[in-house]
Amino acid sequence: MNKRLKKIAGSISRGSVIVDIGSDHAYLLKYLFDEGIIDKSYATEIARGPYEICKKNLEPYNAQVFLTDGLQGFNEKVDTAVIAGMGGFTIIDIIKKSINKFRNINSIIIQPMQNIYELRVWLFDNNFRIVKEHYIFENKYYCILEIENGKSEEYDFLLGSNNVVCDEHYIAYLQNELRLRKNLKKKVPDVKKKQLADEINRINIRINSLK
């Protein structure tokens, strides 16, 4: 199991019933079953190939697999939903299409691969509050957001929520954001340079405040 999925597993409460959306090989669920953290789960997959693999890998366990887009047509009662290893816009799309179901799930764990800024904005505008935000560094940084239904206090969408874990992984994430902007600044027109300079300043202030 890679560090990223292990970190996600760490966010799952013992004994909870979970649905892993876009489960692929079901590595996360297999690990949770094998470690005795869960004893019942669901998985969904949009693509036939991964669905078949997922089903096969979960055969020995108390799990049911659905071939569907996100939670469409899924009506089981769960405590936790996981949406990991997908782009921010795909995650938004999955939640949007079944928003009433997500409103009835206590804990939603998401791990976007890109567009974290846009995802934070969408979550804020749609009353999903980030109760824990943490990072793991494994060749690149990964962000894991634990969210719940409810209005959030305002926060800087660039730097992360008020509930971010300020450890060395978060600093690595901020340093990466800084590097990306410094490189981009050399290539863009003046009007965009100003915006990037402002963002670089905000990120620098944040990093310095954590030293």
Ligand X SMILES: C[S@@+](CC[C@H](N)C(=O)[O-])C[C@H]1O[C@@H](n2cnc3c(N)ncnc32)[C@H](O)[C@@H]1O
Query: Min. distance of Cβ 25 from ligand X in angstroms?
Result: 7
Is 116 near ligand X (CB under 6 A)?
no
Total residues contacting ligand X by CB under 6 A comes to 17
Is 45 near ligand X (CB under 6 A)?
yes
Give ∠ CA 197-135-88 in degrees, rounded to 5.
Answer: 70
Q: How far is it, in rounded angstroms, from Cα 97 to Cα 116?
A: 19
Query: Min. distance of Cβ 28 from ligand X in angstroms?
Result: 6
Task: For tokens 């795909």, name the residue.
Answer: 90
Pick the binder of ligand X from 7, 17, 31, 69 (CB under 6 A). 69
State the DSSP H helix or E strand holding residue 67, giving kind and residue range, or none if neither: strand 63-67
Q: Which is nearer to ligand X, 68 or 149 (CB)?
A: 68
Q: Which is nearer to ligand X, 44 or 161 (CB)?
A: 44
DSSP 8-22: HHTTSPTT--EEEET
Pick the binder of ligand X from 19, 41, 50, 147 (CB under 6 A). 50
Q: What is the dihedral of CA 60, 64, 69, 73, to 10 degrees?
A: 170
Token couple for 106: 């206590």
Q: Which residues pair with 144 in a beta bridge?
A: 134
Which residues in 180-199 contact ligand X (CB under 6 A)?
none
Pick the binder of ligand X from 7, 16, 17, 46 (CB under 6 A). 46
Q: Which residues pair with 129 in a beta bridge?
A: 148
Is 85 near ligand X (CB under 6 A)?
yes
Query: Min. distance of Cβ 191 from ligand X in angstroms?
Result: 35
Is 203 near ligand X (CB under 6 A)?
no
Is 91 near ligand X (CB under 6 A)?
no
Three-state SS for 107-160 is: EEEEEECCCHHHHHHHHHHCCEEEEEEEEEEECEEEEEEEEEECCCCCCCCCCC
Applying CB under 6 A, which part among 84-92, 150-158, 161-169, 186-194 lies near ligand X?
Answer: 84-92
Is 86 near ligand X (CB under 6 A)?
yes
Which residues in 15-44 contact ligand X (CB under 6 A)?
21-24, 44
Chain residues in the site for ligand X (CB under 6 A): 5, 21-24, 44-47, 50, 69-70, 84-86, 90, 94
